Chains A and B, each alone.
Chain A
């Protein structure tokens, strides 16, 4: 093959060859969680708090109360950081019995907190083992956005603004909500499961299929976003 002297005509052939290479971004949601956790851990250390459990070092023996203690410490430290993009996460809560924890109220807004910084979140995560799964939300204000994301694996998670109160038990994640967006991660294809907000079922999955009952504002392959209607 004879190449042209000008380099630019080569660019098309190069681009075509490079396009053959791998281009899949992989599991983006898992990567998002991993980055978020590491950023939170870094911020917690910078603030003198306790490290959050990381994705790579999940500790299945953590009790809910212990994790909740860490949440309290780190959330207080992180929310005091002006301009921090950090959210507070709790990973791998494996508990012998349902137990209630309180996420702290956010600190008064610092000077830089008025910038475009996402609201701090707290959350609980649960491994589902084949039985039914129920996600129950209470105290949702009208207009609250509930974003459901399908994720691979067998874990479910519930994240809500700091100030929400969480409980979890076998096959059950519950929260009494503080104002703000709620995110729910559900194992893709898992059944049976149900998502309920203040007594109304938004989503139910049975062996026969997915039943969507709530007001949907967005729906795609990755998940469904609901909005809590006016009462």
Chain B
């Protein structure tokens, strides 16, 4: 296994997934790096898709173990300000920030497993791979995902409505 090639292929999507899962950059980087260290030190071998499943599954477990405390999640959410780019239109920046906060809050309303499955699907994993990572029956993934999607959008739209 080539270190650089494996790292280049797997680290960026993994840290993105972890950041979306935790809502925190530092936690995401720590988790993604820890998962990669385990991949290399355990000498996990196989084709890239299999390594990817192993890595995301490991990272998901690490997030569950380390960052599941509700108070921590709240802190992470608050510590995630969005700084508009220097050249970005202020209105557009505000819109992006609002979209981001709404999506973050909607994700946080989901059950842990639903959140994980939704983000795994968003990273392009197949139902079979999601089943392996989430430890559910492959035949249930479609139903579970559809339910999670509905729940996510319901919360998202609720957030967008005037009080």
Chain A nearest CB from B35 CB (Å) reads 10
**Residues 76-109 (chain B) with a chain A CB within 8 angstroms:** 80, 96, 99-100, 102-104, 106-107
| One of A14-22, A58-66, A162-170 at the interface | A14-22
A83 and B41 CA atoms in complex are apart in Å by: 11
Q: How many residues of B contact A (CB 8 A)?
A: 45
Chain B nearest CB from A220 CB (Å) reads 13
In the complex, whether A28 has a CB less than 8 A from a CB of chain B is: yes
A17 to B103, Cβ gap below 8 A?
A: yes
Other-chain residue from A11, A86, A87 in contact with B149 (beta carbon distance below 8 A): A11
Q: Hey, which chain B residues are within 8 Å of A1, CB to CB?
A: 153, 157
| One of A33-41, A101-109, A190-198, A206-214 at the interface | A33-41
In the complex, whether B142 has a CB less than 8 A from a CB of chain A is: yes
In the complex, whether A130 has a CB less than 8 A from a CB of chain B is: no
In the complex, whether B20 has a CB less than 8 A from a CB of chain A is: yes
B100 to A22, Cβ gap below 8 A?
A: yes
Q: Hey, which chain A residues are within 8 Å of B153, CB to CB?
A: 1, 3, 10, 13-14, 17
Complex: chain A residue closest to B21, CB-CB? A21
Complex: chain B residue closest to A20, CB-CB? B99
Chain B nearest CB from A204 CB (Å) reads 27
**Residues 110-127 (chain A) with a chain B CB within 8 angstroms:** 116, 118
Q: Hey, which chain B residues are within 8 Å of A43, CB to CB?
A: 41
Interface of chain B: mostly helix, strand, loop or mixed:
helix
A18 to B20, Cβ gap below 8 A?
A: yes
* Contact indicator per residue, chain B 114-152, by CB within 8 Å of chain A (1) or not (0): 000011011000000000000000000011011101101
In the complex, whether A199 has a CB less than 8 A from a CB of chain B is: no
A26 and B11 CA atoms in complex are apart in Å by: 10
Other-chain residue from A21, A25, A36, A85 in contact with B12 (beta carbon distance below 8 A): A25
Q: Hey, which chain B residues are within 8 Å of A18, CB to CB?
A: 20, 103, 107, 118-119, 122
A144 and B110 CA atoms in complex are apart in Å by: 53
A39 to B37, Cβ gap below 8 A?
A: yes
In the complex, whether A31 has a CB less than 8 A from a CB of chain B is: yes
User: Which of B25, B102, B142, B149: most chain A CB closer than 10 A?
Assistant: B149
B150 to A10, Cβ gap below 8 A?
A: yes
A13 and B151 CA atoms in complex are apart in Å by: 12
| One of B2-10, B56-64, B65-73 at the interface | B2-10
A31 to B99, Cβ gap below 8 A?
A: no
B149 to A22, Cβ gap below 8 A?
A: no
Q: Hey, which chain A residues are within 8 Å of B103, CB to CB?
A: 17-18, 20-21
What would 11 A/B residue contacts be, using CB atoms closer than 8 Å?
A: A7-B142, A7-B147, A14-B118, A14-B149, A25-B11, A25-B15, A32-B11, A34-B33, A35-B33, A42-B41, A118-B2
Point out residues on A near B: beta carbons under 8 Å.
1, 3, 6-8, 10-11, 13-15, 17-18, 20-26, 28, 31-32, 34-36, 38-39, 42-43, 83, 85-87, 116, 118
Q: A14-B153, A85-B3, A118-B3 are in contact. List 5 more A-B contacts (CB 8 A).
A: A8-B146, A22-B25, A26-B29, A31-B11, A43-B41
